[in-house]
Structure 1
Amino acid sequence: MSTPLRTSYPVPVNDLIPAARSLATELGEIPSQNRLMKHLRVGKDKAKAVHAALTDEHADTRPETHLHSVPDADDTEPIETAAEVAPEEFPQVSELVDPVSPDRAGWRKWASRVVRRGGISPADETTTETDARPIRSWPVLLLALPAFVAVWSGWVGLGELTGFGVVHPLPGIADGFTINSAITLPIGVETYAAFALRVWLSGRVPARARKFAKHTALSALILGALGQVAYHLLEAQGVTSAPWPITTAVACLPVAVLGMGAALAHLINTRENGSNR
């Protein structure tokens, strides 16, 4: 690292250029005027003059766009470069080589890399915005709207046929507050099916949790489909009270969903080890 000049008398601009050139070589670029003022301990005018001199030197020594053989400082035999390659085939030249530094070692390093690799691969380019752009999920909402209406009405209708209905959940506290318990069926079954499906496909949970989510998600979807079929068959036949097997199965659904949800949450938050795989 070069040391700043320490003088007690004005130094001519020409005497400052070697120290400024050494600083530019260390930085790999032409230093700013503020950096020159601090390093050379000079005023703004002299720093501006030195900066202009370095810029002129760089303009005089900067290589052409088409590269030619660049002799090595330690070897009289020139190395192979990309002289025959069109500039548009190598868009990363300005990124691989410091165009400001007067040192030609950077050009030699780039040329050697081109010869060794046979050109710059497109894989060197950074990921484009098109590749990184996520797939939009808003169409799922559009698909879910009609399904929500059909599923909700089917479960509520089946619940009313199996004994679910308006209840007073807070007797003695809020006697006027009522709720239709039939809504517990679509909320519980369909919500769990969607949640377990997401856990299964996320790939970010332990293997046991993923396996459990897969089986229970498919089971919940099948139960949902059977519930819709049962309701529409009973409704088409004008049945006002579902048979006892259907009533029994529907009555057990809230308990089953609670158990599956609690088990899945436990498996997600449990670290997988050798004893529970």
Structure 2
Amino acid sequence: MTAPTVARPLADLMPAARDLAEEVGGVPSRNRIMSALRVGAPKATALREALIAEAAEAETVPDPWTFAEPTDVPAPVSPAPAGSASGLGGPAVGSAVPAQVSPVPAEVEQVSPPVPAAYPPAEVVEASPQVAADGHPGTSAAPRRTRRVSVWPLMLIGLPAFVAIWAGWVGLGGLTGFGVVHPLPGIADGFSINTAITLPIGVEVYAAYSLRAWLSGSAPARARAFAKWSGIGSLAVGALGQVAYHLLVAAGIEAAPWWITTAVACLPVAVLGMAAALAHLMHDDAEVTR
């Protein structure tokens, strides 16, 4: 006759279950616990849950950076009453009370965070002292005053050039069909004007205006670029007009060829278009900048 099996408590089975976990190298399965310890499924499940709980507690490591509040902080010492002596059981007046310092684990080291290699330290640039006009450093130099160029030498130089250019353009206009017209018929019949003067006024005045807009530095960037190339082109056209007039006069030609007449006839229209474009560029860019 077989003797009845006595149920063993979990506390008696835990050492064998721990030995089995060490042998397996982890928490064994329920079937492994049942076959190794000769227990039923409910008790094997309870043993396995107990092993999992012990493994979770063993893996939990306290954070060394977390310090607990000291519980043994002494109560603040009230100052001794007036008239009490230092030898009567109370602390002496003015004696220093040692501060309670919480212990710091030995394995914890205060390490400063490393500096990333991608951000090297900025270079220190020493400001050089200002040097005055007398050569002594540390003193601010006085601002220099610029003197304006006199206008009368420019007028003296430009007067003969104006006469030559005016005469050349008017003469070339006469060879290309420009002449005296009556712009106000029926209103002022006696008023007449020579249309040849439109050539020097238009071409040369625009050249001077565009050079002023280019070299002054006060015009916007797009307007300066347009003024630069259109001004240089106007000066080149003016030089070609003077060359054409003098060659025609020297050759004794009284009427210019058709291609010269065509080019000269288009000059007033071209000058008007360039002047309007430059004015629009200066106005529009100034509004955008503002």
Task: Tell me the TM-score range normalised by the shorter chain.
Answer: 0.5 to 0.7
Asked whether the 8 Å contact 1:207–1:272 carries over to 2, the reply is: no
2:228 to 214, 237, 258: 214
1:193 to 190, 195, 207: 207
What is the CA distance between 1:176 and its match in structure 2?
A: 0.7
Is it true that 1:127 corresponds to 2:125 in the alignment? no
What is the CA distance between 1:140 and its match in structure 2?
A: 1.2
Asked whether the 8 Å contact 1:155–1:227 carries over to 2, the reply is: yes
Is it true that 1:183 corresponds to 2:197 in the alignment? yes
- 1:266 is matched by which residue type in structure 2? H
Is it true that 1:241 corresponds to 2:255 in the alignment? yes
Is it true that 1:162 corresponds to 2:176 in the alignment? yes
Query: How far apart, CA to CA, are the structure 2 residues paired with 1:132 and 1:123?
Result: 21
Larger radius of gyration: 2
What are structure 1's unaligned runs of at least 5 residues? 1-116
What is the CA distance between 1:123 and its match in structure 2?
A: 5.8
TM-score in terms of structure 2 length: 0.51
Query: How far apart, CA to CA, are the structure 1 residues paired with 2:192 and 2:281?
Result: 36
Which residue matches 2:271?
257
Query: How far apart, CA to CA, are the structure 1 residues paired with 2:278 and 2:139?
Result: 41
Percent sequence identity over aligned pairs: 65
What is the CA distance between 1:133 and its match in structure 2?
A: 2.2
What is the CA distance between 1:230 and its match in structure 2?
A: 0.2
What is the CA distance between 1:135 and its match in structure 2?
A: 2.6
Asked whether the 8 Å contact 2:214–2:225 carries over to 1, the reply is: yes
Query: How far apart, CA to CA, are the structure 2 residues paired with 1:138 and 1:123?
Result: 39
- 2:192 is matched by which residue type in structure 1? T
Query: How far apart, CA to CA, are the structure 1 residues paired with 2:231 and 2:241?
Result: 15
Is it true that 1:148 corresponds to 2:165 in the alignment? no
Give the secondary-structure state (helix, strand or coil) at the position aligned to 1:271: helix
Higher relative contact order (CA 8 A, sep 6+): 1
From the superposition, tell whether residues 239 and 124 of structure 1 become closer, same or farther in structure 2 (CA, over 3 Å): same
Query: How far apart, CA to CA, are the structure 2 residues paired with 1:190 and 1:220?
Result: 7
Relative to its length, the structure with more helix (as a share) is 1
What are structure 2's unaligned runs of at least 5 residues? 1-130
CA RMSD of aligned residues (A): 2.4
Query: C-alpha offsets along residues 215-270 of structure 1, whole Å, 9 cap, x if unaligned?
Result: 00000000000000000000001111000000000000000000000000000111
Query: How far apart, CA to CA, are the structure 2 residues paired with 1:223 and 1:122?
Result: 55
Number of matched pairs: 157
Asked whether the 8 Å contact 2:222–2:285 carries over to 1, the reply is: no
- 1:252 is matched by which residue type in structure 2? C
